[in-house]
Amino acid sequence: MKKVMVLMLLLGALVNHSYAQQTRYLIKFKDKGSNPFSLNNPSQYLSTRALQRRTRYNIGIDSLDLPVTPRYVDSVRLAGAVTILNTSKWLNEVAIKTSDATALAKINNLPFVVSVVGIASFTAEIPTPVNKNLGTLDTNTAFENTNSFIGETTANVYNYGRSNGQVQIHQGAFLHNHGFRGETMQIAVLDGGFFHYQTLPTFDSVRANNQIINTWDFVANNASVDEDDAHGMNCFSTIAANNPGLFVGTAPKAAFALFRTEDVATETKIEEHNMAAGFERADSLGIDVCTVSLGYTTFDFASQNYTYANMDGKTALSTIAADIAAKKGMLPVIAAGNEGQSPWRYIAAPADADSVLTVGAVDTLGVAAAFSSYGPSADGRIKPNVAAVGRNAIVASPSTGAPVYSNGTSFATPNLAGLTTCLWQAFPEFNNMTIIDAIQKASNRVATPNDRTGYGIPDMKKAFVVLQKKSYTQQVAISNCTASFTLNTKYDATMNIIVEKKSATQTNYTTFKTILGTGNFSNKNITFTDDLMNTAGANNSYRIKIEIATDTSYYLDSLNVAIPNSCANPENKISINPNPVKNNANVVISRSQTSNINIVVTNAAGQQVYQTNYKQAAGTQIKTINMQAMASGIYYITIYADDKKVKTESIFKQ
């Protein structure tokens, strides 16, 4: 009863100060008791695609996946004049709208309610609108007067036009040229609105190909996001634009979910709750990558402000939600923030989350943007993780859709999110943390990360190589002085496999075998053999190299093969294949010294049908016998060395 009385007094104080009266609250629940949904039947609340992601990456279903208990939500709604806005199952809370003080008192006294929190403190605090720094269009910089434009390469599958610089700084065309443009992948964009994405020519291809798979406005609680702020549309354009020669995004073939979680007219904690709900919807749909160009530091009500110490990866609501999104298998790509020249200076939530890819801003020359927020996180982790083009970035104009310049980590983030999606498309067998690790290892400051660009600017070709090496396996078995190799790697028709070899007596590797690329990029087995005769007591070394076109080559791995001692004396090492034979029989003869060889073939009646003799140097030589014209039946092949019979073997001619 005391709790109720205190709450009523506080609510009464707010009513007496109408300018500060709160109408939106977050109701946090104690548990998910009496829940009609079951962990044993997740298809009730997770899509098939979401369940497939959990299976692929061995992610278990837990209580976070369960929806908020409907009975709890109903009790809140029935407490009085209460409107349910949305729920967050991960945070186990419901957002409501009400001015009914009695209802709030009832809600606060429910046994399963942990807290009732307004979006401001229960004081006569006058809200001070926060000037959001989401990124700004630059309509004064002429394309012709900037040195940040990188010329187009006509060999690319896309003519990127004005966006060429922000794609090529990451070697993004490498992914696109190899067929990784976002197909089969899904991206959720969480932002403040997607003004006129339904009509702007920038998104003609997206609309024509039905690539928008879901929309929701968590602020207004409806499915329409076309009429709100343009910031989300600007971000979306860096990924989805497909106007050849003018503006092409980084994953133009992906499918997209567009979620409005931000109310650009305010800055309140309900927006962090909305973000959590947006992540959850993305997870339930089976989304792969979430791109978020929003950040939270200070709010309209100063009593709810974060401090830099709160950027510790575990305090802010949006940070908690972003890390849970990663735990569920999605890859959140988060803007570092634009506070580099402000008193705040540092990254904003949820950029401090531990398991996300946080992106700072550079220009197309790789110079860090002055406005890009500084790291590290408050607990000392490297943030931002990496950087992409956010200064003089190319985005779509909200009035015409034409490419214009804009500034902000807001635009660096989706640009890199698109390329991250294409990289993951090539290697879906690896989980989100492995993809992030590869991107960081492929960045230009990986050895000397700093607080501006983290590990640096990612090179997607290098990241591709990191993952290809990680997926590569090899096996070798030795039998009868023959080494049999089985390699497994992902490659396609543009990639040749070169096997190089060096014996113990050689100083340099030479090409031993070339396997020409074939088909689409997928796992393929490569098998071959090597004769180890007359090389006993030493090792053979092999290197496996990938060659792509004429500009790229790299080694996947190397291995050594120990030569068995039993292969030291090849005196009587003779093999005949194939058996049975249809056309040609191969006689493989290995000798430790120069010998006079005589090969005789007789039929079942003892009649000689073939004979040859020659001098063979030490080593292995193959003699081919043309048996195509011989009648079907049993034949005998006898080999003489220096007039001494060393082997007779029967062979069946088909």
Active-site amino acid positions: 191, 231, 410
Q: Which helix (H) or strand (E) holds 417?
A: helix 409-426
Structure token digits, residue 487: 């390699």
Structure token digits, residue 419: 């390329």
DSSP 8-state code for residue 349 = B
Closest by CA to 384, choosing from 295, 460, 315, is 295
Measured distance CA(165)–CA(530) in Å, rounded: 47
SS3 583: coil
Measured distance CA(66)–CA(87) in Å, rounded: 12
CA distances from 8 to 108, 120, 135, 164, 545 (A): 10, 16, 42, 60, 74
Residue 211 · residue 203 · CB < 8 Å: no
Measured distance CA(252)–CA(527) in Å, rounded: 37
Residue 239 backbone dihedrals phi, psi, to 5 degrees: -100, -45
Measured distance CA(192)–CA(189) in Å, rounded: 10
Structure token digits, residue 398: 């909200």
Measured distance CA(232)–CA(91) in Å, rounded: 25
Measured distance CA(512)–CA(558) in Å, rounded: 13
Structure token digits, residue 125: 């605090």
**Strands of 644-653's sheet in order across:** 608-616, 595-603, 633-641, 644-653
- Residue 432: how many other CB atoms lie within 10 Å: 24
B/e letters for 275-292, b = 16+ CB within 10 Å, e = fewer, are bbbbbbbbbbbbbbbbbb
- CA 93-97-101 angle, 5° bins: 100
Residue 378 · residue 310 · CB < 8 Å: yes
CA 12 to chain centre: 52
578 preceded by cis ω (within 30°)?
Answer: yes
Question: For residue 150, what are the contacts with CB-CB under 8 A and spacing of at least 6?
Answer: 164, 165, 168, 169, 364
Measured distance CA(64)–CA(365) in Å, rounded: 43
Question: For residue 140, what are the contacts with CB-CB under 8 A and spacing of at least 6?
Answer: none
Q: Which helix (H) or strand (E) holds 395?
A: strand 393-396
- CA 69-72-73 angle, 5° bins: 90
Closest by CA to 178, choosing from 549, 544, 604, 622, is 549
Question: For residue 208, what are the contacts with CB-CB under 8 A and spacing of at least 6?
Answer: none
